[in-house]
Amino acid sequence: MKFGGTSMEDAAAIDRVAAIVKTRLPERPFVVVSAMARVTDQLLAMAAAAGRGEREQTLDLCRHLRERHYLTAGELLGTGLHTELHGDLGAEFDALDELLRGIAAVGELTPRTSDYVVSFGERLSSMIATAAFLARGIPATLVDARQVIVTDSQHGRAVPQVEAINDRLQSRVKPLLEQRRVPIMGGFIGATREGIPTTIGRGGSDFSAALAGAGLDAERIEIWTDVDGMKTTDPRLCPEARRIKLISFEEAAELAYFGAKVLHPATVLPAVEKNIPVLVLNSRNPSNAGTRILSRTPRSHSLFKAIAAKNRITIVEIVAARMLMAHGFLAKVFEVFARHRCAVDVVSTSEVSISLTVDSNEAIPQIAADLEKLAFVKYAGRKAIVCLVGENLRDTPGVAAQVFDAIGDINVRMISQGASEINLTFVIDETDVPEAVRRLHAKFFAEVDPEVFD
């Protein structure tokens, strides 16, 4: 059972989490929690401020964070029980203060130190959750993610080492489950084999939960969040979004990859490998059946399952009139992106040019400079990928015409239909996203198959 930041945002939310976990006790849950809502962003902001040498601002931000955690713990535990935890939380915050002072003194923030700073978010929330569970009669035991989630040393995006993790799960977590304890672990963080804290990418608590679920051969993986499951589109963009009752692993993975924030893209992989169903559920509305992600779903009458949109995309256009068709040219182009560890999402080629998209990042000017050695290069940011996903896309003719008819006069910069043929993807200006998504949603989800959608 994984509870996201929104499910951990304050004492009332954590109280709901405890009540939900209680209903699952006979099934022997393993609990993964995120940092309290917005804390990871705040820790990153603090680390950045410290890196700029802004000592006082940094410590001020940290004081607010300390107050919020104390307050939450106090509300959850009452004064008596709070004393012990208060001391433990205080020790963590003292260590964080010291770390931030150190960063501010040096005036330099390395990826390694940044990971160390953000790791406090999940450590603090898991400490509070453990105490709150115990106070509510749940036999909880805190598990240190740094001793279970073994990763490589790519800070900020460390890659979990599955075999080592499975060993640790067997030796450190399985015995707790056998003793009917409820292990609680912070998501998102891990450590290298040498014990240096790492993080596995933003939104990574879902991934932690999936790794644990797969490693422990869980019956199912529950992702608890603040919406009634995966929706036909981001409910913040389009309030008419409907709940998807059933979706395949493949469809969910495409959606997550192309921006449906509700699920981390890597989450479904460990689940797929072991065919473990993933459920997306609402901690504010636990009786709702949410979304079930399965290896196979029944055929639906609806063309699409959902629409996702991902902002902060940059289009890179490489024009090389004579070279493009020369063998080896594309390999050279992609080698540049690989060297900068930059993933390419959408690609389209013409006789004389190749256009591709990457997530906007600070390496782009350098990538462009390297590409300039091969060809003429242009790039433009503030673009967005819109992606329509559905297995029925595979054998329905005329889909593209319907999609582009629906979006009307919105300027489309690139189009691609995924090789897997379960997604149709196109690139537009960021500012056009809300309108494009609303138009598409109105066209494709006004009437839907009641077996699959709510």
Binds Mg ion by CB under 5 A, chosen from 203, 204, 229, 270: 203
Report the Cα 370 to chain-centroid distance in Å: 30
Q: Identify residue 228 by its one-letter amino acid code.
A: D
With both helix axes pointing from N to C terminus, report the angle between 11-23 and 55-106 in degrees, rounded to the nearest 10.
70
Q: Which is nearer to Mg ion, 4 or 213 (CB)?
A: 4
- When the beta carbons of 172 and 312 are compared against Mg ion, the nearer one is 312
For 127, the token pair is: 């400490």
Instruction: Give the length of the chain.
Output: 454
**34 near ligand ASP, judged by CB under 6 A:** yes
The correct pick among 13, 31, 32, 34 for binding ligand ADP (CB under 6 A) is 34
Task: Report residue 382 as tokens.
Answer: 């503030």
Least Å distance, CB 62 to ligand ASP, is 17
Closest CA to 187 of 176, 173, 201, 175: 201
Of the two residues 221 and 318, which places its CB atom closer to ligand ADP in the complex? Answer: 221
**61 in Cβ contact with 174 (< 8 Å):** no
Closer CB to ligand ASP, 47 or 371, in the complex? 47
d(CA 446, CA 304): 12
Closest Cα partner for 70 from 53, 82, 81? 82
DSSP character string of 316-332: EEEE-TTTTTSTTHHHH
Does residue 6 belong to the site contacting ligand ADP (CB under 6 A)?
yes
**Minimum CB–partner distance for residue 20 and Mg ion (Å):** 17
Binding mask 170-209 for ligand ADP (x = CB under 6 A): ---------------------------------x------
- One DSSP character per residue, 315-377 reads EEEEE-TTTTTSTTHHHHHHHHHHHTT--EEEEEE-SSEEEEEEE--TTHHHHHHHHHTTSEE
| Subset of residues 116 to 135 that bind ligand ASP, contact rule: CB under 6 A | 121
Six token digits for residue 13: 């939310």
Q: Which stretch binds ligand ADP (CB under 6 A): 82-90, 147-155, 259-267, 420-428?
A: 259-267
At how many degrees (to 10) do helices 111-135 and 11-23 cross?
70
Write down the H helix ranges in 52-144. 55-106, 111-135
Judged by CB under 6 A, the stretch of 152-160, 229-237, 373-381, 421-429 that binds ligand ADP is 229-237
Contact present, 164 and 171 (Cβ < 8 Å): no
Which of 100, 117, 184, 260 contacts ligand ADP by CB under 6 A? 260
> Site for ligand ADP (CB under 6 A): which residue of 218, 252, 306, 407?
306
205 binds ligand ASP (CB under 6 A): yes
The yes or no reply on residue 168 touching ligand ADP (CB under 6 A) is no
261 binds ligand ADP (CB under 6 A): yes
User: φ and ψ at 245, to 5 degrees?
Assistant: -80, -40
From the number of C-beta atoms within 10 Å of its C-beta (0-12, 13-18, 19+), residue 235 rates as middle
Binding-site residue total for ligand ADP (CB under 6 A)?
19
Which range binds ligand ASP by CB under 6 A, 33-41, 103-111, 140-148, 218-226? 33-41
Among positions 401-440, residues that touch Mg ion (CB under 5 A) are none
Question: Residue 183's beta-bridge partner residues?
Answer: 141
**Minimal distance, residue 366 CB to ligand ASP, in Å:** 26
> Residue 406 to residues 259, 302, 327, 401, 437: CA-CA distances in angstroms?
21, 16, 39, 9, 10
Q: Output 202 or 332, the one with its CB closest to ligand ASP.
A: 202
Whether the Cβ atoms of residue 355 and residue 316 lie closer than 8 Å to each other: yes
Identity of the residue, 197 or 290, whose beta carbon is nearer to ligand ADP in the bound complex? 290
Report the residue number whose CB is nearest to Mg ion.
203
Candidate ranges 46-54, 208-216, 221-229, 394-402; the one touching ligand ADP (CB under 6 A): 221-229
Nearer of residues 183 and 190 to ligand ASP, judged by Cβ: 190
Q: Which does 204 bind (CB under 5 to 8 A by kind): ligand ADP, ligand ASP, Mg ion, none?
A: ligand ASP
Picked from ligand ASP, ligand ADP, Mg ion, none, the partner binding residue 40 (CB below 5 to 8 A depending on kind) is ligand ASP
How far is residue 444's CA from residue 424's CA, in Å, rounded to a whole number?
Answer: 13
Coil, strand or helix: which one is 2? strand
| Binding flag, residue 187, Mg ion (CB under 5 A) | no
Round to whole Å and give the CA distance between 11 and 70. 10
Which partner in ligand ADP, ligand ASP, Mg ion, none is near 236 (CB below 5 to 8 A by kind)? Answer: ligand ADP
Q: At what angle do helices 55-106 and 111-135 cross, to 10 degrees?
A: 130
Q: State in angstroms the smallest separation of the CB of 371 from ligand ASP.
A: 31
Binding mask 185-204 vs ligand ASP (x if CB under 6 A, - otherwise)? --xx-------------xxx
306 makes contact, choosing from ligand ADP, ligand ASP, Mg ion, none, with CB < 5 to 8 Å by partner type, with ligand ADP
Task: Using alpha carbons, list the distances in angstroms from residue 252 to 54, 271, 280, 403.
Answer: 42, 12, 11, 20
Binding site for Mg ion (CB under 5 A): 4, 203
